Amino acid sequence: MSSVIKVALVHDWLTGMRGGEYVLEAIAELFPRAELFTLLYVPGRISPTLTTLKRHTSFLQKVPGIEKRYRHFLPLMPKAIERFDLRGFDLVISSSHCVAKGIRKDPGAVHVSYVHAPMRYIWDRYDDYFGPGRASFPVRFAARMLREPLQNWDRGVSGFDRINVIIANSRFIAEQVRRAYDRECKVIYPFADLSRFVLPRDQGKNYLMVGAFAPNKRVDIAVEAFNRLKLPLIVIGGGQEGGKLSKLAGPTIEFLGALSNSAITEFYSKCKAFVFPGLEDFGITPLEAMASGAPVIAYGEGGASESVTNKTGLFFRPQTVEALIEAVLKFENGEVKFSPQDCRVRAREFSKERFQREFAGAVCDAWTEAGKDRGALENLIQSGWASSALK
């Protein structure tokens, strides 16, 4: 190995800045001279930190209109990720919820994979995307035919010969990794950008949802619940189910589409409570709500159960309209009360600085376990943007 440690960062795709991309950005701050490998990239939709990295994209980048249809190319993604040439790279760090962790590395290289979820569309979330009523018959048929081959590929690239260490973003995902790949893994929670949430708490009457309209978010449960309750719900975001959901909404529900971070921050500070009905790998938006002093009404499974506490929110089970209604009525009737200070204190436990410190330490541990010079890697990290991560 040369005296200069060459670092490759790998991410599934870069079509916008969401939770996974902010995690990638935080990792890139630790390794500002790394090269970035991703299946496809949409100009103008990622942060300056990621834009400055030397970037490599796959053959999918050349497909016309790929930025709107990339999920349709799932069967080709394993081949696309494996065709990247990482010869000469000493350290590979993948940020993966689909195929990124399937990258091929040099035999002597160290690969650390931060897993947001095992390939979502073929494991635990299969029914969310391809169950009855979720997709057309041809799409469901194709998914059923491809599911087992994709699972076999995903399991095959998750062994120790390809990945030295897997890090999960929650205990919930660590258990999914154990079931899917028979691998144990460390848990390092993601973070919220706490610097955004400094407005004073000014509670109003509106409940709030923020996020993508993907099937697993279960926005439909919230829409039906607030239709029945005839209470005001503001929904911010967009996605593939937006049209269907807006048609279901009654007069007390308002869809505002995508808004700026500053506008969303103001809605957080004024909402009565934040509603989170989906089963999430972790979930950044509950952290953002708590950082604004707002309590959370969350489905009591998945990552939200690891961030929200009984001092900062209320859980509902099962994942039904009736259970959500029961939880909301506890707010309306004054049966539960939450302190904005308790919410903010809990959110501060999930800082970016904490994430970078823990992640850097885990990468250095993996590097050392592979028999490599820890001091050289620590020096590389300390010379980067986030030199404070190891302090």
The answer to whether 150 touches 98, Cβ cutoff 8 Å, is no
CA distance to 46, 123, 177, 214, 356, per residue, from 40 (Å): 12, 23, 25, 20, 25
* pLDDT number for residue 120: 75
Options 3.10.110, 3.30.1540, 1.10.10, 3.40.50; CATH for 7-191+351-390 is 3.40.50
Residues of the chain with confidence (pLDDT) below 50? 1, 386-391
Q: Per CATH, the architecture of 194-349 is what? A: 3-Layer(aba) Sandwich (3.40)
Topology agreement, domain 7-191+351-390 and domain 194-349: yes
Which amino acid would we find at residue 44?
G
Pairing of strands 186-187, 7-11: unpaired
* pLDDT number for residue 122: 75
The answer to whether 387 touches 381, Cβ cutoff 8 Å, is yes
Terminal CA-CA length for the chain: 27
Question: Which residue reads 């899917």 in tokens?
Answer: 180
* pLDDT number for residue 389: 40
* pLDDT number for residue 313: 97
pLDDT tens, residue by residue, 83-140 = 999 999 999 999 999 999 999 999 999 999 999 999 877 777 666 666 666 666 676 7
The answer to whether 364 touches 374, Cβ cutoff 8 Å, is yes
Query: What ranges do the domains of the chain cover?
Result: 7-191+351-390, 194-349
* pLDDT number for residue 244: 80
The answer to whether 239 touches 219, Cβ cutoff 8 Å, is no
